[in-house]
């Protein structure tokens, strides 16, 4: 096989289960490939993040550009994939898994390629070259300093992984051991989070405008322990016990008594076991009922509780948490959206260039509003993208109209009502729309990749759903501008967002 002289040597580290060369023997003769073969690393982990092998590679100056995992064991492959993706310096490295296994489960999302060990030398070399091109693309990213916060590096690695893999999506996998029933294995590995963790970190990135989510499922969670294992039960509305049964109602023509069939049933004898062996006797007049349509009919059905003898038409549905034992009504269940996440334009820009002076910080989860500093950071990024790529960006401002003449008790009162309104709007706006409260007197809403008309429609819809949060006597004054085309309409506000200290 002829070597491609235009290619520089490719550093390939082969992690082989028990050093079995049958899985990677074809690699030994590949041109331009510099191999380093090591045994599996399960006994050599350091702080659950780094392995002694990777550490020794750094000391020797051997930076692996491509990692090949060769093993017939699903558990070993899965463990190695999580070790690599959670390693801050190796998280983005292209990984080829050589295994006879056809099913790796959720761990499959962590490998770039999965191929059988019987792959021919030509096909194997073709895959190595494809991964080498990915390595070259990764080198174009702006460097992240070694002194940067490790959590920040992991967040950037997540965005860069998605961007470098042709804007791949973060898809959830069902997992019975996860509190919400779903996991994001790739995100968990890149962020070094528990493997059964749900979408909390991804929701934060969506709120900050770096990811956008498309709903795939909606899960009911226990409001006490936030676990998905809930039993929905039909119970008696009086004593809330599930020992209930549906019965036909019987209408006795002669005395007009109506009641559940169980009240009319009388056994032929003590050994009667089935309803077919029972007589029907009216409990009011004690007359025996013989023929349906002549003596009686069955006009409807009702439920009977065997605990408290309550008779009712419809049972109450309540929930029993199988994890903590909590008992609650269905309207108290917490709803968790499970989404498929993909990069936004802002996420792609951060992936390529880094955050610069911006910060990634968790949003204020108490009311769904972003702190003003974070909102400003997002505005800087989105405004720059809008100018460079000519994509629409809409900024909306909401204030109270003529507050001083409407009996407001002061600025704190205005801010309190605006915060309540903002929390309501947050629930009805898109996940990647950003919202903040400015000086306790103004709500700001930033809608990326949305023109003024679309933003106005979305805002009107959200306000209609939140109209009960507007106090009596208060009226909203709104202003919208499509940036940068209508920058002059909100020029003073935009100037303040650019220079928040003035």
pLDDT tens digits, residue range 279-298? Answer: 899 999 999 898 888 999 99
- Quick one: tokens of 38? 């090591």
DSSP string, 175-230: -TTSTTSEE-HHHHHHTT--TT--SHHHHHHHHTTSEEEEEEEEEEE-TTT--S-E
The Cα angle at residue 113 between residues 202 and 49, in degrees rounded to 5: 55
Helices and strands (H, E) in the chain, number of each type: 12, 25
What phi-psi label fits residue 85: left (phi over 0), alpha (psi between -120 and 50 degrees) or beta? Answer: alpha
> Cα 160 from chain centroid?
19
452-465 vs 411-428: helix axis angle to the nearest 10? 110
Long-range contact list for 362-365, CB < 8 A, 24+ apart?
A: 362/204, 363/204, 363/207, 363/208
Spatial separation of the C-alpha atoms in residues 422 and 375, rounded to whole Å: 14
**Residue 217 has what pLDDT?**
94
Closest CA relative to residue 379, chosen from 349, 346, 428, 341: 346
Per-residue pLDDT of the chain (502 residues; tens, 9 = 90+): 444 535 567 778 777 765 556 666 667 767 777 777 766 554 444 334 344 445 544 434 445 578 888 888 888 888 888 888 888 888 898 999 888 888 888 888 899 999 888 878 788 888 888 888 888 888 888 777 655 567 778 888 999 999 999 888 999 999 888 899 999 999 999 988 776 666 777 887 887 778 888 999 999 999 888 899 999 999 999 999 999 989 889 999 999 999 888 889 887 655 555 555 568 999 999 998 988 889 999 998 889 898 998 889 899 999 999 999 999 999 889 888 899 999 988 888 888 887 664 555 544 434 567 878 778 888 888 888 888 778 888 999 888 775 544 444 444 566 777 777 887 887 778 777 888 888 777 889 998 888 888 888 888 888 888 877 777 777 888 888 888 777 777 777 777 666 655 4
3-state DSSP helix/strand/coil % of the chain, to nearest 5: 35, 25, 40
**Where does 363-498 sit in CATH, by number?**
3.30.70.270
Any idea where the domains of the chain sit in the sequence? 10-140, 237-314, 363-498
Spatial separation of the C-alpha atoms in residues 492 and 425, rounded to whole Å: 24
What phi-psi label fits residue 209: left (phi over 0), alpha (psi between -120 and 50 degrees) or beta? Answer: left
**Residue 349 has what pLDDT?**
82
* Per-residue CA distances from 416 to 89, 401, 408, 442, 466 (Å): 45, 16, 11, 11, 15
On whether the CB atoms of residues 109 and 95 are closer than 8 A, the answer is no
Closest CA relative to residue 119, chosen from 97, 141, 149: 97
Question: Before 12, cis peptide (omega within 30)?
Answer: no
**Residue 407 has what pLDDT?**
40
Spatial separation of the C-alpha atoms in residues 418 and 42, rounded to whole Å: 54
**SS3 of residue 444 by DSSP:** strand
**SS3 of residue 241 by DSSP:** coil
On whether the CB atoms of residues 429 and 462 are closer than 8 A, the answer is yes
- Quick one: tokens of 458? 């979305």
Per DSSP, 84 falls in state: H
What is the pTM (predicted TM-score) of this model? Answer: 0.67
CB neighbours of residue 165 within 10 Å:
15
- Quick one: tokens of 312? 């009712």
Q: What's the chain's length in residues?
A: 502
- Quick one: tokens of 380? 């800087």
**Residue 346 has what pLDDT?**
81
Q: In CATH, which superfamily holds the domain spanning 10-140? A: Response regulator (3.40.50.2300)
**SS3 of residue 106 by DSSP:** helix
> Around 165, how many Cα atoms within 13 Å sit in the side-chain half-sphere?
22
Spatial separation of the C-alpha atoms in residues 15 and 2, rounded to whole Å: 26
Per DSSP, which regions of 17-147 are E strands? 33-39, 45-46, 50-51, 66-70, 95-98, 113-115
**Residue 24 has what pLDDT?**
64
């Amino acid at each position: 096989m002829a070597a491609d002289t235009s290619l520089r040597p490719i550093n390939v580290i082969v992690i082989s289960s028990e050093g079995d060369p049958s899985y990677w023997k074809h690699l030994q003769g590949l041109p331009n490939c510099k191999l380093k073969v090591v045994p599996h690393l399960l006994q050599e982990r350091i702080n659950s993040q780094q392995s002694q092998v990777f550490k020794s590679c750094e000391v020797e100056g051997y930076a692996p550009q491509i990692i090949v995992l060769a093993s017939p064991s699903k558990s070993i492959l899965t463990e190695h994939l999580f070790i690599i993706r959670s390693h801050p310096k190796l998280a983005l490295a292209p990984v080829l898994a050589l295994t006879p296994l056809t099913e790796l489960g959720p761990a499959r999302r962590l490998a770039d390629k999965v191929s059988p060990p019987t792959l021919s030398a030509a096909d194997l070399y073709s895959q190595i070259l494809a991964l080498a091109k990915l390595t070259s693309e990764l080198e174009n990213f702006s460097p992240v300093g070694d002194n940067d916060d490790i959590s920040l590096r992991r967040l950037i690695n997540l965005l860069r992984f998605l961007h470098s893999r042709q804007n791949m999506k973060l898809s959830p996998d069902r997992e019975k051991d996860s509190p919400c029933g779903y996991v994001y294995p790739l995100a968990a590995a890149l962020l070094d989070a528990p493997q059964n963790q749900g979408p909390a970190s991804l929701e934060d990135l969506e709120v900050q405008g770096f990811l956008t989510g498309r709903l795939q499922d909606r899960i009911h969670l226990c409001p006490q322990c936030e676990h998905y294992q809930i039993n929905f039960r039909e119970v008696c509305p009086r004593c809330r016990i599930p020992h209930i049964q549906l019965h036909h109602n019987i209408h006795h023509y002669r005395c007009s008594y109506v009641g559940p069939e169980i009240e009319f049933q009388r056994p032929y004898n003590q050994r009667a076991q089935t309803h077919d062996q029972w007589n029907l006797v009216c409990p009011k007049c004690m007359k025996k009922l013989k023929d349906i349509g002549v003596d009686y009919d069955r006009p409807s059905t009702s439920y009977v509780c065997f605990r408290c003898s309550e008779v009712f038409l419809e049972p109450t549905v309540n929930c029993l948490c199988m994890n903590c034992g909590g008992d609650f009504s269905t309207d108290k269940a917490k709803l968790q959206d499970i989404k498929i996440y993909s990069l936004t334009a802002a996420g792609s820009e951060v992936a390529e260039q880094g955050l610069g002076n911006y910060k990634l910080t968790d949003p204020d989860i108490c009311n769904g509003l972003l702190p003003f500093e974070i909102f400003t950071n997002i505005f800087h990024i989105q405004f720059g993208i809008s100018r460079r790529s000519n994509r629409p960006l809409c900024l909306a401002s909401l204030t109270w109209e003529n507050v001083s003449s409407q009996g407001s008790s002061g600025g704190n009162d205005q801010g309190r009502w605006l915060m309540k309104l903002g929390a309501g709007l947050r629930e009805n706006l898109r996940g990647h729309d950003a919202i903040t409260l400015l000086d306790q007197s103004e709500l700001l809403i930033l809608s990326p990749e949305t023109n003024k008309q679309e933003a106005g429609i979305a805002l009107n819809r959200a306000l209609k759903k939140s109209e009960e949060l507007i106090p009596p006597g208060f009226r909203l004054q709104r202003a919208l501008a499509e940036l940068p085309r209508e920058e002059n309409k909100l020029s003073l506000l935009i100037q303040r967002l650019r220079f928040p200290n003035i």
